[in-house]
Amino acid sequence: MFPSNKEEHSGKDSRDLNDPQVRLKRDCVGIMAAFRINKPFHHMVIVANTHLYWDPELADVKLAQAKYLLSRLAQFKTLISDEFECTPSLLLAGDFNSIPGDMVYSYLVSGYKKPAETIEEEEVAPIPMCSVYEVTRGEPKFTNCTPGFTNTLDYIFFSPSDFIKPVSILQLPEPESPDVVGFLPNDHHPSDHLPIGAEFEISRE
């Protein structure tokens, strides 16, 4: 879904980052799909997943990707709403390469925290989103654990409504837990990221 550039590599970018066409083209992905629940009642759920750019020095690129993703989600939600005459629930998860409170995180939850009447006329109101971990027990202490970096980068966001609410989350290990001591990946966790998860209850429209 994001613009792609096959010349990008895992090291520092040696191209002219002052050129917006170069700066914004990244091999990052975003996908979305709508699912219809038929039993015990009908309800539409939009599920989206993404992996934003990693480089902390290009925070503006990650923010641009987040804004683009939410704009496409808003379009898709409108399409599903019109096509099926419903109010779909919305879930967004992934590796956002962004820590709690930074520009990307703050933007994603701004629609939930910012009252509609405070939005300027020229602004596009972001989809109200909140983090399932934050509203239940607080963001985990970390989801990524490597020798050079340990912090939270992965999230499950949902658009709160009368139709959906989180009922449980996957508990993550503490920093001193034996299965994460010595950093990741290891014999217990095959990735440098920990898995996160949540269960939701969906109510009748």
What pLDDT does residue 21 have?
67
User: What is the per-residue pLDDT across 20-79, written as a single tens digit (0 to 9) for each?
Assistant: 667 888 889 899 999 999 888 889 999 999 999 999 989 999 999 999 999 999 999 999
- Here the tokens at position 59 are 């925070």
CA 144 to chain centroid, in Å, comes to 15
User: What is the per-residue pLDDT across 153-204, written as a single tens digit (0 to 9) for each?
Assistant: 999 999 999 899 999 999 999 989 999 988 999 999 999 999 999 999 988 7
Cα angle, residue 128 at apex, residues 70 and 135 outer, rounded to 5°: 120
Q: How confident is the model at residue 140 (pLDDT cuts 50, 70, 90)?
A: very high
What pLDDT does residue 12 have?
58
What pLDDT does residue 25 have?
85
Is a pLDDT exceeding 90 seen at residue 11?
no
Taking the C-alpha atoms of residue 27 and residue 29, their distance in angstroms, rounded to an integer, is 7
Q: What's the burial of 192, exposed, middle or buried (CB within 10 Å: 0-12/13-18/19+)?
A: middle
Nearest of 43, 92, 81 to residue 203 by alpha carbon: 43
Is a pLDDT exceeding 50 seen at residue 10?
no
Is a pLDDT exceeding 50 seen at residue 4?
no
Cβ neighbours of residue 199 closer than 8 Å, sequence gap 6 or more: 166, 167, 168, 169
- Here the tokens at position 27 are 């091999």
If one compares 146 and 125, the residue with the highest pLDDT of the two is 146
Nearest of 102, 106, 81 to residue 151 by alpha carbon: 102
What pLDDT does residue 189 have?
94
What pLDDT does residue 6 have?
38
Nearest of 3, 41, 1 to residue 22 by alpha carbon: 3
Q: Are strands 144-146 and 149-151 parallel, antiparallel or unpaired?
A: antiparallel
3-state SS assignment for residue 133: helix
Domains of the chain: 20-202 (3.60.10.10)
3-state SS assignment for residue 75: helix
Q: Which helix (H) or strand (E) holds 103?
A: helix 103-113
Query: Cβ(62)–Cβ(104) under 8 Å?
Result: yes
